[in-house]
């Protein structure tokens, strides 16, 4: 005859019943004031002590005359949890993942979130972040370079921008009524490096000092205001037949040894008109240093034909900077040069913004302020007109 299954062992108690299931877990129930049998919403417990604790806690609710059915309490708690704003940490991570950002920008935002924001705001519910908490955090972030000439650290400004961006999205999602980031001039950045933007003569000298196959990279980046990631993803098909227009539709970045080609930063796909004085250099480069295929890179790695590694370019760049007497000049200063030149040439705020691919006018406004430094030159031109 087949053996009979041994029923689960039931422990008799003055209140409630506890039994061990064949799985090894424990089940508990009791008869409530409504004369119905109630079980734990969690179903079972890992240990007997946990089951006993739950039954005892239910008995206390009955004795205090505040008892309601466990299932109803669990439903009410779940509904309250669904209405409760998430913590800043989990919400910010989701916002950053969902935004259309360049890979390097997304990595930068995650770094700022992890290192500068999460320690203070990570576990705080969105509706628990107050202007006072933001000000306390702002005052406590380290990074001032020296007491004699205090500077707002770049990391703190960038972290504040990420904090404000995430909370703006929370306002749009109706999770909080308003943004608590209200510090005046918090994003007015005092860079950690001195202004080193080259002059037009230095741009020309720098191009001459580079290897011939890379000379145009200096001219294109400077006079067209491209990002480095955009310059090194340019291909023959991106240059118009008359060498008058560049199509900036992609950018290349390398993160953790992996090369990624994606849309430019901030989705800044655009057409950039090439200044006439460098169009002949563009044509000569296409004839001499670029493959005939439409997909050929303008500045490939000579060994592999693929994207030129950033460190390889920087080594050649540093040698050229030393040669013209500008050691320490950063590649990104060429883009600053392009923005300032565009503003000095009379470009409106919108025109500079479109040319450089800025998502907001605030970034382009910097070049308008730099161009405003031509007040003396403008006054002299006015006097010459008067004299004539």
Hey, which residues are catalytic here? 227, 332, 335, 358, 367
Residue 231: alpha-carbon gap to chain centroid: 21
Nearest to 237 by CA among 226, 224, 228, 250: 250
Q: Which two tokens stand for residue 334?
A: 């060429």
Q: Would you list the DSSP string of 128-183?
A: G--HHHHHHHHHH------SSS----HHHHHHHHHHHHHHHHHHHTTSSSS-----
To the nearest 10 degrees (0 to 180), the angle between helices 88-98 and 103-112 is: 170
Nearest to 323 by CA among 192, 225, 218: 218
To the nearest 10 degrees (0 to 180), the angle between helices 154-172 and 88-98 is: 90
* Three-class DSSP category at 297: strand
Instruction: Tell me which DSSP letter residue 113 carries.
Output: I
Q: What's phi and psi for 87, nearest 5 deg?
A: -70, 160
Nearest to 157 by CA among 103, 121, 108: 108
Q: Residues 20, 26, 31, CA angle at the centre, nearest 5°?
A: 95
Q: Measure the CA–CA gap between 317 and 211, rounded to whole angstroms.
A: 9
The gap between the terminal CA atoms of the chain, to the nearest Å, is 123
Q: Measure the CA–CA gap between 246 and 122, rounded to whole angstroms.
A: 43
Burial class of 373 by CB neighbour count within 10 A (0 to 12, 13 to 18, 19+): exposed
Q: Which stretches of the chain are assigned E, i.e. beta strand?
A: 9-12, 17-20, 26-31, 37-39, 245-248, 251-255, 258-262, 270-273
């Amino acid at each position: 005859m087949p053996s009979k299954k041994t029923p689960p062992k039931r422990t008799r108690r003055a209140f409630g019943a506890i039994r061990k299931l064949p799985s090894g877990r424990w089940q508990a129930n009791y008869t409530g004031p409504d004369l119905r049998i109630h079980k734990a919403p969690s179903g079972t417990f890992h240990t007997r002590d946990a089951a006993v604790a739950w039954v005892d806690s239910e008995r206390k609710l009955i004795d205090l005359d505040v008892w309601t059915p466990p299932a109803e309490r669990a439903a009410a708690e779940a509904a309250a949890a669904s209405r409760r704003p998430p913590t800043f940490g989990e919400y910010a991570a989701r916002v950053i993942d969902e935004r259309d950002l360049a890979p390097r920008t997304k990595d930068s935002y995650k770094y700022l979130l992890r290192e500068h924001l999460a320690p203070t705001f990570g576990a705080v519910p969105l509706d628990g972040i107050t202007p006072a908490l933001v000000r306390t955090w702002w005052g406590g972030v380290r990074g001032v370079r020296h007491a004699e000439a205090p500077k707002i650290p770049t990391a703190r400004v960038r972290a504040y921008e990420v904090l404000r961006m995430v909370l703006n999205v929370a306002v749009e999602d109706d999770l909080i009524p308003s943004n608590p980031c209200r510090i005046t001039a918090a994003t007015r950045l005092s860079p950690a490096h001195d202004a080193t933007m080259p002059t037009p003569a230095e741009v020309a000298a720098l191009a001459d000092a580079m290897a011939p196959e890379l000379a145009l990279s200096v001219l294109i980046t400077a006079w067209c205001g491209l990002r480095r990631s955009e310059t090194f993803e340019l291909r023959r098909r991106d240059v118009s037949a008359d060498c008058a227009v560049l199509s900036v539709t992609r950018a290349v970045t390398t993160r953790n040894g992996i090369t990624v080609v994606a849309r430019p930063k901030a989705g800044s796909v655009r057409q950039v008109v090439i200044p006439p004085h460098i169009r002949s250099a563009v044509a000569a480069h296409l004839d001499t240093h670029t493959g005939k295929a439409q997909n050929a890179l303008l500045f490939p790695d000579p060994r592999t034909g693929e994207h030129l590694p950033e460190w390889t370019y920087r080594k050649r760049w540093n040698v050229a900077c030393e040669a013209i007497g500008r050691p320490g000049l950063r590649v990104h200063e060429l883009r600053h040069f392009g923005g300032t030149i565009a503003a000095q040439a009379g470009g409106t705020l919108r025109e500079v913004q479109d040319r450089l691919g800025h998502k907001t006018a605030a970034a382009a406004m910097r070049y308008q302020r730099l161009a405003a430094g031509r007040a003396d030159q403008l006054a002299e031109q006015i006097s010459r007109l008067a004299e004539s």
